[in-house]
Amino acid sequence: MDAMQGQGGIQMLLSAEQDAQQIVSTAKNNKMARLRQAKEEAENEVGQYRAHLEAEYQRNISE
């Protein structure tokens, strides 16, 4: 009887470990996705700012 309970406990631990690994993996993937999105947004903002500065510069040159 004790051997059966031991096996059940081991299976529960293995299952919990797999669940934990899946949670960690999902969290890492979500973090990477957020970082990619933040990078894209930052690059977009920098591009817009550069375009604004370039337009202002060209306007100042033409005056």
Whether this prediction's pTM lies above 0.85 is answered by no
pLDDT tens for 3-27 read 567 688 899 999 999 999 999 999 9
Residues 49, 46: Cα–Cα separation, whole Å: 5
The answer as to whether 9 is a domain residue is no
Place of tokens 């500065």: 53
Residues 40, 21: Cα–Cα separation, whole Å: 29
Total of domains in the chain: 1
The answer as to whether 4 is a domain residue is no
Amino acid identity at 3: A
The answer as to whether 36 is a domain residue is yes
The answer as to whether 16 is a domain residue is no
